[in-house]
Amino acid sequence: MASGPPSLPSPSTSSSSTSAGWFTPSASASDTCDDLWSADASAAYAPPVASATSGSASPTSASIDSTSDEFFSCCSPPLSPVSPSFPHHPAPPPLMGDLAPLPAELVLHILRFLPLRQRAVMREVSRGCAELASIPLLWRTVRFSRHLALSRFDGAADLWLAAVTRAPYLTSALRSLSLATCKDVTDTGLALALPQLPRLESLDLSRCWGVTDALLASLALAPAAAHLRSLNLYMVYQVTDVGITRLAPATPRLVRLNLYKCSLVTDTGLAVVAASCPDLVELTLYGLPHISDAGVAGALPLLPDLRKLNLGSCKQLTDAALINAASLPALATLHLLRCSAMSDALLRCLAASGTAASLVSLNCHGLAKLTDSGVVVLAAVASDLERLNLSRCTGISADGAIAIVAKCRTLARLTLDARAISPELSVLAASRAVELVVA
């Protein structure tokens, strides 16, 4: 030790001394030392995953957001596995390579400064490094969280999932998992992780282009399926009716489902979702070219609690798709952008059915068949409407826009083409505190 790194405290050093630096166990850390290093806790030799929080934020309210170590400064110092205060604890596993000559305590202290992603990658270097990277002391500075976001860990998503499954004290608490934009995540990596997340309620797989029906089949068999409340499959192009029909019956508590541009899903999958998930509150069917008027009209009566429906870019749909709109008394948000086959008949149907009375936001961007008369009829009964988008609606004139603002007392934001905005409209909108947006 004379020619090497600075000497560590001798066994005679008091555990209450403040000169021992990180080597001295804190009082709060000593409470859990036995749990971390006992022979019965060998399963805990895996890194709990963290959330990048600031200050003293609640450990249940954040998620991993970057590979920086900014949150280390607010955590308690780690315990030394050979601390004189706990002589019965075993030393860390043998080190390898250039790390071998260094004291184990010093190596652990150095490795604490690695970003989280590099700590996970270190497990794949060699058996010795894998054992070292699994020592709980290396991860004591990481905060626990019920929400884990690996969205910025593209390139190592499967590695992190493997780490999560080896941390039972984390998996038992995890409620939300986001893998958004992790394009390298695979069905295999997820299939191994999901059975270890029994209380998972929210799963975000946005743009996980490697995910297929096989993953949905695995999720249907996992314990988490019965608790799942939110599933985001935004632009997961390989999902088909096969996966949807396997998963939907296993997730009866689902309230949010995003199938944005899952273009292989058809009326068959939609019917199974509607029949199996009656508590749905939000449903996104944007850009699904193979769903029909009959499919949508048949599904809506089975979803009485639906509050948000997105049918954007379903250009094949007509007014008949929402013929059963009366079955949606709670509908607050309706997106119909680029549903170019829809016309005034749809708006009159919404007004006559009473659905318009609950609408808060309506997006009719690109509906060229709409005219002043249809929109004015809707505005007269839409008592809660706050946001209305009529951009690219070439049939709407300045006079129609003025009538909308005059009749809809709750309107706060109106989006129009520039040609439909007149000085009279601007004055009226200003007097009613309505924001005019030119699109």
Q: How many helices, marked H, and strands, marked E, lie in the chain?
A: 15, 12
Residue-averaged pLDDT of the chain: 78
Instruction: Please report where in the chains the tokens 């170019």 appear, as a residue.
Output: 340
The tokens of 188 are what?
């295999």
Q: How far is CA 257 from CA 203, 237, 280, 297, in A?
A: 10, 15, 8, 18
H or E segment to which residue 413 belongs: strand 413-416
- Write the CB contacts of 275 (distance below 8 Å, at least 6 apart in sequence): 248, 302
Output 96 or 69, whichever has higher pLDDT: 96
Compute the chain's Rg from CA coordinates: 29
Q: What is the rounded distance in angstroms from the CA atom of residue 428 to the CA atom of residue 402?
A: 7
**Predicted local confidence at residue 79, as pLDDT:** 35
Q: What percent of the chain has pLDDT over 90?
A: 53
Output 49 or 41, whichever has higher pLDDT: 49
The three-state secondary structure class of 235 is coil
Q: How far is CA 33 from CA 76, 111, 232, in A?
A: 13, 19, 39
Nearest one of 169, 200, 160 to 43, comparing CA atoms: 169
**Predicted local confidence at residue 15, as pLDDT:** 36
Once rounded to an integer, what is the mean pLDDT over residues 311-318?
97
- Which tens digit of pLDDT belongs to each residue from 108-139? 788 878 876 677 677 677 777 777 777 766 66
Nearest one of 136, 72, 127 to 96, comparing CA atoms: 127
Output 56 or 124, whichever has higher pLDDT: 124
Once rounded to an integer, what is the mean pLDDT over residues 187-197?
87
Give the confidence band of 145 by pLDDT, cuts at 50, 70, 90.
low
**Predicted local confidence at residue 42, as pLDDT:** 33
- Write the CB contacts of 427 (distance below 8 Å, at least 6 apart in sequence): none
**Predicted local confidence at residue 183, as pLDDT:** 84
**Predicted local confidence at residue 329, as pLDDT:** 92
**Predicted local confidence at residue 151, as pLDDT:** 72
Domains in the chain, CATH or no CATH each: 22-143 (no CATH), 146-291 (3.80.10.10), 331-439 (3.80.10.10)
HSE-up of residue 165 (Cα within 13 Å, Cβ side): 14
Nearest one of 116, 124, 114 to 143, comparing CA atoms: 116
- Which tens digit of pLDDT belongs to each residue from 384-406? 999 999 999 999 999 999 999 99
CA angle 80, 81, 86 (to 5 degrees): 95
Q: Which residues of 71-81 are buried (b: 16+ CB within 10 A; e: fewer)?
A: beeebebbbbb
> Is 65 a residue whose pLDDT tops 60?
no
DSSP string, 48-91: PP-----TT--TTS-----S--GGGGGSPPPPPTT-TT-TTSPP
- Which tens digit of pLDDT belongs to each residue from 243-260? 999 999 999 999 999 999
**Predicted local confidence at residue 427, as pLDDT:** 96
Nearest one of 288, 325, 285, 318 to 303, comparing CA atoms: 325
- Write the CB contacts of 128 (distance below 8 Å, at least 6 apart in sequence): 93, 94, 95, 96, 97
The tokens of 213 are what?
């029906």
HSE-up of residue 113 (Cα within 13 Å, Cβ side): 4
Q: What is the rounded distance in angstroms from the CA atom of residue 202 to the CA atom of residue 254?
A: 9
The three-state secondary structure class of 264 is strand
- Write the CB contacts of 179 (distance below 8 Å, at least 6 apart in sequence): 150, 151, 157, 185, 190, 203, 204, 205, 206, 208
Give the confidence band of 143 by pLDDT, cuts at 50, 70, 90.
low
Q: What are the beta bridge partners of residue 369?
A: 343
Give the confidence band of 97 by pLDDT, cuts at 50, 70, 90.
low
Beta strands in 233-356 (DSSP E): 256-258, 282-284, 308-310, 333-335
Q: What is the rounded distance in angstroms from the CA atom of residue 329 to the CA atom of residue 412?
A: 22
